[in-house]
Amino acid sequence: MNIYKNLNKITKYIDENLENDINYETLANFLGVNVYTMQRLFTMITGISLSEYIRKRRLSSAGFDLYEKTSKIIDIAIKYQYDNPTSFSRAFEKFHGIKPSLVNKVTKLKNFPRIIFNEDVKITTEFDYEIITLDEMHLYGIGITTNNKKITNDAPIFFKEIENKYINKYGEIKYGMITYDTKHEECQKYYCLYDKVIDEFEKIIIPKSKWLKFRINSQNAKDIQEISHKFYKEFLPSIKYNLKEMPELEYYHNDVTDFLIAIY
């Protein structure tokens, strides 16, 4: 499967349907995966969530329509799937930096172009991995709110903060965990977790599941982040595993890290 050829089908379909409801199931079918996996792939490969990409493409087209003065603001709002002119005007001003009612022939507007992928990219990285099954886990820890842009800085800083604060009381942190807000396609929280009962911390139950396991011979944050990015950009596109709507786990032990992704 040429992931980049099929991603081009996705962005082409989106451009052809900016004025319609965009069916995520149809987009997932282009990649042969479920909707959740498709969303995660799109976000990791492009650096922008699918919903944000669609929103910016619609606002770009709406700006062109207003510049040409072909329709009233209310008609353009409805055309690009906004429920009312107020929400459209708010989004338009945030994106373009000007109210839609003030657009004229000398206005400078933003354009967010369609993403077109290079279909000739070759993926040659070799990955060693295992497929394992883990029983239900009961973990205890503390988390921090984050997002896709901040996670690479937030996670290592928070880990060090929690480690320094609790190492003498509870020992070493056993797991790192990233949760996702599937509605907004964003990282939601990063947790530091222990495999022992700690009443002052939040209890996290991880259901029994099948996991892809990648061994990283390091516990350095940059090494872990590098494998995470390679997983989404190089490994997952080349196979047809579907991701479960479950957190990502990092298991720290014996000076190594197991990067764990729940799958069907």
Please say whether the beta carbons of 132 and 205 come within 8 A: no
Please say whether the beta carbons of 136 and 208 come within 8 A: yes
163 and 251 share one domain:
yes
Range of the domain at 66: 3-102
Give the alpha-carbon dihedral of 94, 96, 100, 106, to 10 degrees: 150
SS3 189: strand
Is 115 part of any domain? no
CA distance 147 to 156: 14
* Confidence (pLDDT) at 167: 96
256 and 134 share one domain:
yes
43 and 138 share one domain:
no
* Confidence (pLDDT) at 16: 97
245 and 144 share one domain:
yes
97 and 136 share one domain:
no
Distances (CA, A) of 5 to 14, 31, 122, 156, 172: 15, 10, 12, 35, 45
SS3 of 24-66: the string is HHHHHHHHCCCHHHHHHHHHHHHCCCHHHHHHHHHHHHHHHHH
77 and 170 share one domain:
no
Q: What is the pLDDT of residues 95-140, one digit of tens each?
A: 999 999 998 877 889 999 999 998 886 666 667 889 999 999 999 9
Is 34 part of any domain? yes
164 and 223 share one domain:
yes
DSSP-derived letter for residue 262 is E
Main-chain dihedrals φ then ψ at residue 178, nearest 5 degrees: -115, 125
CATH code of 31's domain: 1.10.10.60
* Residues in the chain where the model's pLDDT stays below 50: none
Indicate the residue among 52, 85, 102 that finishes a domain: 102
Indicate the residue among 102, 117, 140 that finishes a domain: 102
Place of tokens 């603001």: 73
Query: Nearest Cα to 6, choosing from 148, 232, 33?
Result: 33
Query: Nearest Cα to 180, choosing from 39, 28, 62, 60?
Result: 39
CA distance 179 to 182: 9
233, two tokens: 């950009």
Number of domains, the chain: 2
139 and 235 share one domain:
yes
167, two tokens: 């190492």
* Confidence (pLDDT) at 1: 58
